[in-house]
Amino acid sequence: MTARRGIALAIQTADCVPILLLSPEGVAAVHAGWRGTAAGAAAEGVRALEKESRSPASAMSAVIGPAIGVCCYEVGGEVAAAFAGDFLRRSCGGKFRLDLKAANRAQLEASGVASGRIEELPFCTRCGGEELASYRRDGAAAGRMIGLVARLDAPGDSENPMADPSRSA
């Protein structure tokens, strides 16, 4: 996370959930696989950005990017045990399907990010097409997707010497 203007943060994923946070005074990028989601990575990202940017969660916006969907994310009992029933669906053969996006959305909302300020991209990386990177589908040969977030100033912004080429940095 950063409160500096003109700095871009990137996150790479190939089934895990990318979460991009924007506050009036900062940005953050969070990588949330099942372990990170179980450990509260989205909530921790909100808390860290609140501290760094001195902006409340209620002023933040979030984007939950493409990730493996509940349609394709089959997990065993060990992983299922780390999550509340709200995020699990029973599948054939005693396995479970985990909704990582919903679990992360719930963390964002519980942390104070308003539901209407959370955009969730609907794509499942595993079944959504070859243009989406999926480790579950392609194994070690899977590519990676990159999510990017930054606070950029308008041209001529006096606080940003990079916006006005006549000023020296």
Tens-place pLDDT, residues 56-77: 999 999 999 999 999 999 998 8
How far is Cα 146 from Cα 151, in angstroms, rounded to an integer? 17
pLDDT of 166 reads 43
pLDDT tops 70 at residue 141: yes
pLDDT of 136 reads 96
Q: Which of 5-9, 92-96, 140-144 has the lowest mean pLDDT?
A: 92-96
Average pLDDT taken over every residue of the chain:
91
Domain boundaries, given as residue ranges, for the chain: 8-156
pLDDT tops 50 at residue 3: yes
Q: What is the token pair recorded at 36?
A: 């990170």
pLDDT tops 50 at residue 168: no
pLDDT of 153 reads 76
pLDDT of 77 reads 87
pLDDT tops 80 at residue 54: yes
Superfamily of domain 8-156: CNF1/YfiH-like putative cysteine hydrolases (3.60.140.10)
pLDDT tops 70 at residue 150: yes
A 10 A CB-CB count for 106 gives: 17
pLDDT tops 90 at residue 94: no
Q: With CA atoms as reference, report the closest residue to 123 among 12, 42, 17, 30.
A: 17
How far is Cα 149 from Cα 19, in angstroms, rounded to an integer? 10
